[in-house]
Amino acid sequence: MGKAPQESKSASQYLLNLPMSKCVGPGDLVRIKAFPDTAMFISGDYPILENGYALLPILGLVQVTSLSITDLAANLTKSYAKFLAYPNIQVEPIIRLSFFGGFLKPGMHKVNPMNSFSDALSTADGPVRDDGLRLLRWERDGKVLSRDLTAEVEGNKSLMDLGFKSGDQVCVTILTQRDRLQVISLILSTALATGTLVITLMVLRK
């Protein structure tokens, strides 16, 4: 029982000490949070350029992908110490995933690739359908990579370990063929009932 937290901490520390190039690259983002930063001139999301650099406030171009999260945070804390009294810099890698179809908040969402798929799914507030979790599919460049993400939803593996990249799409249909037939049947039965009522009223008026 007492060993699990230690393993979890070790796994987290392992990710924090990996070069950021393992989970992000050109076109992705590095998220910087500075405390204190009352003027909000440091905190923000900064695009990673082709050469692995990011253009940061005051400092200019800074190489970010070759460093680990731990080392980059330490370097930025030291660099910004000239401008903030007691700076505390946090660094977070960010990729973009698109959630299309029957989600409560569809669209492109910024997610940390070190988080789980379930964490990423929560940014879209989950699927609209009650059975939507079983209908998720993972697509990239028009190709379906997986039609069954049940294990990913229930598991704790990071998006990075699962192989997710910026631009990937998670899709779920709003209505299945069966649902469409049910809707069509409901519309037809409603129309029939309405038509019958109209004819009855016309007969009674005569």
Alpha-carbon distance 71 to 111, whole Å? Answer: 21
Which of 3.30.70.580, 3.60.15.10, 3.20.20.70, 3.30.1950.10 would CATH assign to domain 4-93? 3.30.1950.10
Q: Where do the structural domains in the chain lie, given as residue ranges?
A: 4-93, 95-177
Task: Give tens-digit pLDDT for 7-39.
Answer: 445 556 777 888 999 999 999 999 999 887 666
Task: Give tens-digit pLDDT for 113-125.
Answer: 999 999 999 999 9
Nearest of 62, 176, 47 to residue 110 by alpha carbon? 47
Which of 3.30.70.600, 1.10.3720.10, 3.10.20.90, 2.60.40.1180 would CATH assign to domain 95-177? 3.10.20.90
Placement of tokens 């190039």 in the chain: 21
Question: Which stretches does DSSP call E strand in 9-119?
Answer: 29-35, 44-47, 53-56, 60-63, 88-101, 107-111
Alpha-carbon distance 99 to 139, whole Å? Answer: 10
